[in-house]
Amino acid sequence: MSISKFFALAIIGLFVVTSSSFAGGKNFSLNNNVGKNQIKFDSEAPVETINGVVNTVNGNFTMDMSNFEATTGTITLNIADMKTGVEKRDEHMRGADWLNADKNPQIKYQITKLTGLKTSSENGKFTTKGTVEGNFMLNGVSKYLKGTVNINYIQENAETKKRASGDIVNIQAKIDVPLADFGIKGKSGVLGNKVANVVKISAVLFANSN
C-alpha cells in the first residue's frame, strides 16, 4: 500500500469515527418502565368539556443531547385507545364523522425538528425548552403543526439503570389541533358547540436509548 492510499483510508476512517461520535445522536423508544406514557386531549366547547386520555403510546426518535434541534422521530397512538370516560362518546369519536378510525386507525406526529430551544445542564441532566415542529397525521390528512416542548435528558447512571438501560428522556409537549384542518366536520351543530374547534393535546412521554 502506498503512503497516499494509507492516508486516504486513514482520513476516511477518521471521518466515519467522528461522524458516528458526534452527529448521529441516540435512538430512543418510549418505555413505560421509565415512566407512564400518556397523552391527554381536551375539548373545551361552550356547553361541554371533554377530557380524554390515551395510555398506550408508541414512538421512536433520535435525540442528541449536544444538538437537541436535530431531534427527529415519530409518536403514534391508536384511536381505539382514546378514552373520554363515556363509552358511547368514544364510539362516536371513532366514527366516520369524527376521527374515522376504521379508515385511519392511527394518529401520528412526525417530529422534524426542535427550534427556539433554551438548554441548560447540571450533573449529567440536560433540560431544554422550546418548540417542536412536525407533521401531524390525522384522518388521512397531514398538516405541519408546531407545539411547545420541555425535555429532560438524563445520561445513564446508577439511578437510571433501575428504570431502564441507556440514557433516559422525559418529554412534555403541547399541541393544538384544529379539527377542521384535518377534514373533520363532525355531526351538524356539534363542532364548536359541544366539541371544540381546536382540541388541545398534551403529552407526557418517557423513553430510554436503545
If DSSP codes are grouped into helix, strand and coil, which group holds residue 184? Answer: coil
Q: What are phi and psi of 140, to 5 degrees?
A: 75, 10
Cα separation of 49 and 187, whole Å?
17
* CB of 178 vs another protein, minimal distance in Å: 19
103 is a contact residue toward another protein (CB under 8 A): no
80 is a contact residue toward another protein (CB under 8 A): no
The one segment of 41-49, 54-62, 133-141, 174-182 that binds another protein by CB under 8 A: 41-49
In the complex with another protein, which residue's Cβ is closer, 86 or 141?
Answer: 86
189 is a contact residue toward another protein (CB under 8 A): yes
180 is a contact residue toward another protein (CB under 8 A): no
Among 86, 105, 144, 210, binds another protein (CB under 8 A): 86
If DSSP codes are grouped into helix, strand and coil, which group holds residue 71? Answer: coil
88 is a contact residue toward another protein (CB under 8 A): yes
In the complex with another protein, which residue's Cβ is closer, 49 or 157?
Answer: 49
Cα separation of 156 and 163, whole Å?
10
DSSP string, 7-36: HHHHHHHHHHHHHHHHTS-EEEEE-TTTS-
The one segment of 82-90, 107-115, 117-125, 175-183 that binds another protein by CB under 8 A: 82-90
Label residue 120 exposed, middle or buried (CB < 10 Å: 0-12, 13-18, 19+): exposed
36 is a contact residue toward another protein (CB under 8 A): no
Query: In the stretch 11-30, what mask flags binding to another protein with x, by CB under 8 A?
Result: --------------------
Cα separation of 34 and 164, whole Å?
6
Among 26, 40, 89, 200, binds another protein (CB under 8 A): 89
For residue 79 the three cell numbers come to 384511536
190 is a contact residue toward another protein (CB under 8 A): yes
Looking at residue 94, its amino acid is R
Among 27, 29, 45, 94, binds another protein (CB under 8 A): 45
Closest CA to 176 of 153, 156, 201: 201
- Distances in whole angstroms, Cα of residue 111 to Cα of each of 54, 62, 116: 19, 10, 15
Residues lying near another protein in the complex (CB under 8 A): 44-49, 51, 85-89, 92, 187-190, 193-194
